[in-house]
């Protein structure tokens, strides 16, 4: 475990030292693999089945947020649907437009999962989608999971629809009825939408509990619930599924989720502490868990380096200062007499101009004299910071 922690520290430190180059490279690789998979599996528009076009689009995605990559991928899917027929292309455009109006615009940060879901189903690891959304997202991410299932099963119907369009015996109305029937009357899709939503909610609730190893437990429970609900649902709905693929896929998903948890939330639970304090209005009960940090050599360690991954510059700017610790005391390199008091109000809550993410850091309480209380007038008292009118 110590070796893994040191490896994690070195990877994060290297990432933070060159994130301006590494982050676009990661986005480029994600877009390249994603667009290549779309062309490989749904490449019905022959003019787009060109590696040069894929590379150009991936370069564009490298300088866009991940939501931009998801948007370009969905547009590419719609264009490929037009390669089947005009009716299928219009149906795909209306479907994704409806999903955007009803769902995607509210959970736009999770939109990449909608594009990855068909690939996850193809490699028999669909449980990685809801469990990862529950670990990294919110309860509202269940809407993203449902949308991802609808998109995956729509794309799953495209090969059979492409065969129908090549047969002149089927009219446009029959093709549209087949598309609608493949989504609305698909018992397997309905079962998976319920399973995905349930897994996201359960994983998210477990992760938010102040439980030791909460992230690891949520990943294991989420994949376990996926297996149980898939088996039970297939039994009651009379759906044929390969139980071996479900179990093996859930185990692979669990490994991926553990890797995500290791880099995102690597805590040293043996050093957990419980704190209790109060102010005029509330009692506070806080559980403090130190981060698992590696003991690197003095050549590799730098006090200014942060063991955090920031995916955007906004995340890095919004991070709390490093000279404050969680129990409300100054850090070892901070002077007790130089602690700022202007950014907290009297009840210990953040001031309006303070980032709410700093609430679990040091709290400095400043005393605010009531209006009815007169200031002392003894000769030893020195009044400072008054306006010219007050001095008169």
pLDDT tens column, 164-200: 888 777 788 888 888 888 888 889 999 999 999 999 9
Q: Would you say how long the chain is, in residues?
A: 392
Tell me phi and psi for residue 372, to 5 degrees: -75, -15
The answer to whether the beta carbons of residues 12 and 309 sit under 8 Å apart is: yes
Q: What is the C-alpha R_g of the chain?
A: 27
Tokens of 73: 């991928």
Q: How far apart are CA 72 and CA 222, in angstroms?
A: 30
Written as one string, the DSSP assignment of 141-177 is: HHHHHHHHHHHHHHHHTHHHHHHHHHSTTS-HHHHHH
Kindly tell me if the per-residue pLDDT of 341 is higher than 80. no
Question: 3-state DSSP: the chain helix, strand, coil percent, rounded to 5?
Answer: 60, 5, 35
Instruction: Provide the pLDDT for residue 254.
Output: 94
Tokens of 345: 């109000």
* Sign of the alpha-carbon dihedral angle for 122, 126, 132, 134: positive
Among residues 36, 30, 74, the alpha carbon closest in space to that of 53 is found at 36
Per DSSP (E only), the strands in 266-369 are 273-278, 283-288
Q: Is 47 helix (H, G, I), strand (E, B) or coil?
A: helix
Q: How far apart are CA 192 and CA 196, in angstroms?
A: 6
Kindly tell me if the per-residue pLDDT of 8 is higher than 50. yes
Kindly tell me if the per-residue pLDDT of 347 is higher than 80. no
Q: Give the pLDDT band (50/70/90) at residue 141.
A: very high
Instruction: Provide the pLDDT for residue 369.
Output: 45
Q: Are strands 273-278 and 283-288 parallel, antiparallel or unpaired?
A: antiparallel
Taking phi over 0 as left and psi of -120 to 50 as alpha, with beta for the rest, 240 belongs to beta
Tokens of 250: 């859930």
Instruction: Give the tens place of pLDDT for each residue, 355-374.
Output: 444 333 333 333 444 444 44
223 compared with 2, residue with greater pLDDT:
223
Q: What is the mean pLDDT of residues 140-151?
A: 93
* Reported pTM: 0.70
Instruction: Give the tens place of pLDDT for each residue, 258-316.
Output: 998 888 876 666 666 777 878 888 888 777 777 766 655 545 544 444 444 444 444 55
Q: Give the pLDDT band (50/70/90) at residue 338.
A: very low
The answer to whether the beta carbons of residues 273 and 297 sit under 8 Å apart is: no
């Amino acid at each position: 475990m110590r070796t893994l922690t040191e490896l994690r520290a070195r990877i994060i430190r290297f990432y933070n030292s060159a994130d301006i180059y590494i982050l676009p490279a990661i986005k480029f690789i994600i877009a390249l693999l994603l667009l290549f998979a779309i062309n490989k599996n749904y490449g019905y528009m022959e003019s787009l089945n060109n590696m040069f076009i894929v590379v150009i689009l991936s370069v564009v995605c490298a300088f866009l947020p991940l939501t931009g990559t998801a948007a370009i991928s969905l547009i590419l899917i719609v264009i490929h649907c037009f390669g089947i027929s005009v009716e299928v292309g219009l149906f795909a455009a209306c479907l994704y437009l409806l999903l955007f109006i009803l769902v995607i615009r509210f959970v736009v940060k999770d939109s990449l999962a909608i594009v990855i879901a068909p690939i996850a189903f193809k490699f028999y690891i669909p449980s990685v989608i809801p469990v990862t959304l529950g670990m990294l997202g919110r309860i509202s991410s269940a809407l993203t999971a449902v949308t991802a299932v609808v998109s995956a099963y729509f794309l799953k119907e495209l090969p059979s629809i492409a065969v129908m369009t090549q047969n002149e015996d089927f009219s446009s109305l029959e093709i549209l009825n087949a598309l609608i029937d493949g989504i609305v009357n698909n018992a397997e899709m309905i079962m998976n939408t319920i399973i995905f939503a349930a897994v996201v909610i359960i994983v998210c609730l477990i992760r938010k509990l102040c439980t030791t190893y909460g992230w690891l437990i949520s990943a294991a429970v989420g994949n376990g619930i996926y297996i149980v609900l898939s088996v039970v649902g297939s039994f009651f709905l009379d759906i044929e599924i390969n139980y071996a693929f479900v179990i093996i896929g859930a185990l692979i998903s669990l490994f991926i989720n553990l890797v995500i948890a290791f880099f995102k939330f690597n805590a040293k639970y043996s050093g957990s502490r419980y704190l209790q304090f109060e102010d005029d209005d509330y009692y506070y009960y806080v559980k403090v868990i130190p981060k698992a940090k590696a003991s690197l050599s003095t050549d590799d360690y730098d006090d200014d380096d942060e063991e955090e991954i920031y995916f955007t510059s906004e995340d890095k700017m919004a991070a709390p200062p490093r000279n404050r610790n969680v129990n409300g005391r100054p850090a070892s390199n901070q002077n007790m007499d130089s602690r700022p008091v202007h950014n907290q109000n009297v009840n210990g809550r953040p001031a309006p101009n303070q980032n709410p993410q700093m609430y679990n850091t040091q709290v400095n309480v400043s005393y605010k004299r009531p209006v009815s209380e007169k200031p002392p007038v003894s000769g030893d008292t020195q009044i400072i910071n008054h306006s010219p009118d007050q001095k008169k």
